[in-house]
Amino acid sequence: MRKKEKAALIMDVLNRLYPDVPIPLEHSDAYTLLVAVVLSAQCTDARVNTVTPALFELAGTPEEMAKIPVETIREIIRPCGLSSNKSKAISNLSKILAEKYGGEVPPVMEELEKLPGVGHKTASVVVSQAFGQNAFPIDTHIHRLMTRWGLTSGKNVVQTEKDAKKIFPVESWNRLHLQIIYFGREYCPARGHDPLSCPICSQL
């Protein structure tokens, strides 16, 4: 089966299983989404969602967050892990947004990637989910499934992103990256996976 045929089959299965794909990180605007994505590094979305209500009640805008001591932020987000680095990043990016961007999150990949703690994947998630721009954020789960499905031979997420953008229609990217994440959790885990019972692996 050629890659384009695999892609069509995969999209058909995912659209059937996940016609509606809610954004897993709870947020109210681009800023709270950005902070939530920063917190999600090496942490589950579910755990992030238990931490952010208290954080955003204390400070829900860049201007408010910039005034909060880093130690206070660190204590609140401690359950997410890497709290020392993440608290500094959240504090510093909030100050930059407040001072340089008038408290607004820039809808531009290159500008987002300049912010502390914001890498390419985080920026991709924000422009995709907050601003509706076509992007294909690749995390380790999507990289794993793209490799398992024979859609990429990339050794890293950078190559996998390039391959994904070649294979799948651009208008599907924003929806598809969420669908793949949900599918991986429910049907195609890293361990204990049964290919014969998997709605996609069983057909490839």
Q: What is the pLDDT of residues 52-85, one digit of tens each?
A: 999 999 999 999 999 999 999 999 999 999 999 9
52 to 80, 181, 188, 197: CA distances (angstroms): 10, 21, 28, 36
Q: What is the pLDDT of residues 134-153, one digit of tens each?
A: 999 998 889 999 999 999 98
Q: Check residue 14 and give its pLDDT.
A: 98
* 166 has catalytic annotation: no
151-155 long-range CB contacts below 8 Å, 24 or more apart? 151/3, 151/6, 151/7
Q: Check residue 1 and give its pLDDT.
A: 85
CATH 1.10.1670.10 location in the chain: 3-21+135-203
In CATH terms, the fold of domain 3-21+135-203 is: Endonuclease Iii, domain 2 (1.10.1670)
**Catalytic-role residue among 12, 67, 121, 162:** 121
**Catalytic-role residue among 3, 6, 139, 162:** 139
Q: Check residue 153 and give its pLDDT.
A: 87
* 163 has catalytic annotation: no
Mean pLDDT in consecutive groups of 10 residues from the start of the chain, 204 residues = 94 97 96 98 95 98 98 98 97 98 97 97 97 94 94 90 96 96 94 95 95
> Where does 30-129 sit in CATH, by number?
1.10.340.30
Cα separation of 25 and 5, whole Å?
32
- H helices of 1-112, in order, are 3-17, 30-39, 45-58, 62-66, 70-77, 83-100, 109-112
CATH 1.10.340.30 location in the chain: 30-129
